[in-house]
């Protein structure tokens, strides 16, 4: 066989293999909803302002006495300026990140074994591991986003989040490190046929609540992009500016990050 013919045969074989793989992969994807995309808070026709869980207070939450005490103690720390994590470029954490704090868009990237969720603010990210491959419970480092394990209940992606750090600073649903969050994501359409993600969240925490706290919301596709948002960068750049000013004044460039904070707080 000539070289040209061998190459042609190889191309045909490779193409057939690729087609088979792509077809199989496509068939597998069709079985599950695909949440991939950039989403914004869904608003019912005629609804203005914020949808979803935004804007609700904590007054109606079924706090235990201990939960109420912890919540009240935290409120005493906030001061007249009503300090909050985001003002200091700290990630919102769970569940605030999913409650569209500030009303920013959210991006979902879905693979068969992982749903990656990125909130515009700080590019805050969480990963939901779907299927058999999971980190052993003993190996999980507690974090503000916890460890999220997903499985399919028909066409609904069910996500259980555990291994959370204490969340006393969560804006609407504070919780302890004993909390478990169960979310249900499903994909549908509204009356106009546009895609909608329906989302339910149940927060269980024996320390904070006498019963599970449940919320629901929807997201609509956003015809736009996630825009870069890196608040913490500003502090580093401000430190460089302070040191430039020192050098210009003939002084050693030894400003500290505490000086950046002082300068910022002086403006508040």
CB of 43 to other proteins, least distance (A): 7
Counting contacts by CB under 8 A, is residue 37 touching other proteins?
Answer: no
Contacts with other proteins, 61-80, as mask; x by CB under 8 A: -------------------x
Counting contacts by CB under 8 A, is residue 230 touching other proteins?
Answer: yes
Q: How far is CA 128 from the centre of its chain?
A: 10
Counting contacts by CB under 8 A, is residue 193 touching other proteins?
Answer: no
Answer for which of 2, 3, 26, 48 binds other proteins (CB under 8 A) is 48
Counting contacts by CB under 8 A, is residue 89 touching other proteins?
Answer: yes
Q: Give the separation between CA 267 and CA 261, rounded to whole angstroms.
A: 10
Stretches 46-54, 139-147, 209-217, 253-261: which one binds other proteins (CB under 8 A)?
46-54
Sign of CA pseudo-dihedral 235, 237, 241, 247? positive
Identify which of residues 38 and 128 has a Cβ nearer to other proteins in the complex: 38
Identify which of residues 63 and 119 has a Cβ nearer to other proteins in the complex: 119
Stretches 12-20, 36-44, 183-191, 244-252: which one binds other proteins (CB under 8 A)?
36-44
**Residues 145-174 contacting other proteins, CB under 8 A:** 171
Total chain residues near other proteins (CB under 8 A): 38
- The residue ranges that bind other proteins (CB under 8 A) are 40-41, 43, 48-51, 54-55, 80-84, 86-87, 89, 101-105, 120-121, 171, 220, 222-224, 227-231, 233-234, 267-268
């Amino acid at each position: 066989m000539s070289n040209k013919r061998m190459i042609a045969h190889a191309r045909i074989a490779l193409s057939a293999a690729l087609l088979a793989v792509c077809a199989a992969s496509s068939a597998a994807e069709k079985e599950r909803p695909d949440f991939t995309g950039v989403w914004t808070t869904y608003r019912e026709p005629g609804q203005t302002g914020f949808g979803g869980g935004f804007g609700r207070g904590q007054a109606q939450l079924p706090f235990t006495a201990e939960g109420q005490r912890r919540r009240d103690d935290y409120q005493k720390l906030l001061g007249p300026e009503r300090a909050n994590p985001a003002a200091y470029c700290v990630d919102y954490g769970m569940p605030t990140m999913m409650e569209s704090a500030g009303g920013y868009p959210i991006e979902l990237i879905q693979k068969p074994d992982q749903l990656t969720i990125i909130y515009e603010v700080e590019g805050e990210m969480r990963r939901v591991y779907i299927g058999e491959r999971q980190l052993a419970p003993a190996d999980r480092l507690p974090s503000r986003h916890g460890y999220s394990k997903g499985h399919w209940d028909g066409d609904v992606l069910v996500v259980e989040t555990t291994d959370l750090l204490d969340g006393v600073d969560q804006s609407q649903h504070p919780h302890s490190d004993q909390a478990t969050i169960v979310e249900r994501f499903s994909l549908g359409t509204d009356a106009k046929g546009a895609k909608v993600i329906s989302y339910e969240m149940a927060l269980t925490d024996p320390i904070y609540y006498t019963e599970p706290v449940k919320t629901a919301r929807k997201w609509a596709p956003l015809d736009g992009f996630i825009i870069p948002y890196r608040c913490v960068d500003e502090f580093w750049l401000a430190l460089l500016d302070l040191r430039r000013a020192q050098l210009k004044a003939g002084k050693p460039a030894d400003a500290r990050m505490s000086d950046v904070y002082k300068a910022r707080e002086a403006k508040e």
